[in-house]
Amino acid sequence: MIIEPSKSIRFQKNAFGYEPITTLEPGHWIAKNVPAIHEEPYLTSIENYITKFEFDIQDFYYNGSYIKIAATWNDVSKYLFESDYFGKVLQQSNYLNDEIKIIEEMKLLPQEKLKAAFELAKTIQWDQKESVFTTTLSLESIFKKKIGNSTEINLILLQILRKLDFEADPVVLSTRQNGILSITYPSLAKLNHTIVRVKLNDEFILIDATEKYLPYHLLPKKCLNYHGRAIYPFINSHFVDLIPTGNYLKKTNYNLNLENNLFSGKIINEYSDYAGQEFRNNYFHSIAKRNIVKILRIKKVALK
């Protein structure tokens, strides 16, 4: 790989993998005899193990102006909040007034109010596109069309929470398939998703409204990627841990009678947390309702 030197733009690189990369001259690197790599069970992402450099624009000069993008993580935060497709879209939230009024009139406790905000954001369908930027200058159009990318949905959730007087801020991250976010090397290009950090009863929790069948207290598996960056408009950003707050739980209850050397009775499976989400996804997305009962009966799972 060769990157030609430039007086107007500076790059920074982040190294991945375990094979040596040799510098032949400034801006020219080579790796030799690199063995093939194959995906294995329990890897977060194969992208974390492939020997490579990832490059980010650190800063550049344009029309006499010096613009910092990713020299530090606070530069990344500042760039996002000044972007028309991130921070500035948060400034217009009056389109939510009618929905907010309905929630406020319910006189809900904080946890129930948060759930109502979460369910309102989930009325927007995720278009399966991951990006740290919005595709529009106004989130109102996304709310009306009821479809948007991952950041659009969660920035709307952020607006709803703030209008309901929650302390809430965005957390930007790289999803599992996209690879780990480096603590040492700031990167704007690596970011491809946004979630929300909200204070509930003196405790901060992380929420994501893109997964239709996941409760508010669980982050989608795609987000469980070590750490993300909580960002703020006027103070320093910081890393937050992206760890599971639930388990994959499946309980089986057998109620059987033995008669004439034959068992008869009921077998009931109970799915919780991520197992519950997996079951709901399979039920609603993969198998027609009339077929799932038949399939589960074959597996000796009791369903009514």
Q: What is the pLDDT of residue 304?
A: 41
Supply the pTM of this predicted model. 0.85
- pLDDT tens, residue by residue, 119-176: 999 999 999 999 999 999 999 999 999 999 999 999 999 999 999 999 999 999 999 9
| The pLDDT of residue 241 | 97
- Which residue ranges in the chain fall short of pLDDT 70? 1-3, 285-304
Indicate the domain borders of the chain.
Answer: 9-69, 87-242, 248-298
**Tokens of residue 254, six digits:** 């057998």
Residue found by looking up tokens 């709310």 in the block: 143
The amino acid at residue 271 is Y
- The CA distance from 23 to 30, in Å, is 7
Q: Edge-to-edge strand order for the sheet containing 168-173?
A: 203-207, 193-200, 168-173, 226-230, 238-242
**Residue linked to tokens 């935060």:** 77
CA atoms within 13 A on the CB side of 91: 10
Are 242 and 267 in contact by the 8 Å Cβ rule? The answer is no
Question: b/e for 279-299, b at 16 or more Cβ within 10 A?
Answer: beeeeeeeeeeeebeeebeee
Average pLDDT for the chain:
89
Among candidate residues 200, 45, 223, the one with its CA nearest the CA of residue 118: 200
Topology (CATH) of 87-242: C8orf32 fold (3.10.620)
pLDDT above 90 covers a percentage of the chain that reads: 56
